[in-house]
Amino acid sequence: MTTRIHPPTTDRRLVSLAAAAERYGISVKTLRRRISDGTIRGYRVGRLIRVDPDELTQRLLIEIPSR
């Protein structure tokens, strides 16, 4: 039995792993690891995997506190 999760609302734009990796200066392999460990969510579109760039901004970018 396959679990289906509804995709994000239509006002969100999903991007490819390659585009997201380039935008954030990380590797596609890193994005795949983050999807696997649950840090970010990936969405399957046919055979392709997409991510929400807004979610990446919230979950991957962590501010370093200043003194």
Q: Per-residue pLDDT for 7 more than 90?
A: no
Note whether residue 58 is domain-resident: no
Note whether residue 27 is domain-resident: yes
Return the axis-axis angle of helices 28-37 and 17-24, rounded to nearest 10°: 110
Note whether residue 61 is domain-resident: no
Instruction: Give the model confidence (pLDDT) of 13-51 as tens digits.
Output: 999 999 999 999 999 999 999 999 999 999 999 999 999
Task: Return the pLDDT at 9.
Answer: 55
Q: Which domain holds residue 19?
A: 15-52
Cα–Cα distance between 41 and 4 in angstroms, integer? Answer: 14
Q: Is 29 helix (H, G, I), strand (E, B) or coil?
A: helix
Maximum Cα interatomic distance, the chain, rounded to a whole number of Å: 52
Going by pLDDT thresholds of 50, 70 and 90, the confidence category of residue 67 is confident
Note whether residue 47 is domain-resident: yes
State how far the alpha carbon of 33 is from the alpha carbons of 15, 18, 19, 27, 38, in Å.
Answer: 17, 14, 16, 10, 9
Note whether residue 64 is domain-resident: no
Q: How many residues are present in the chain? A: 67
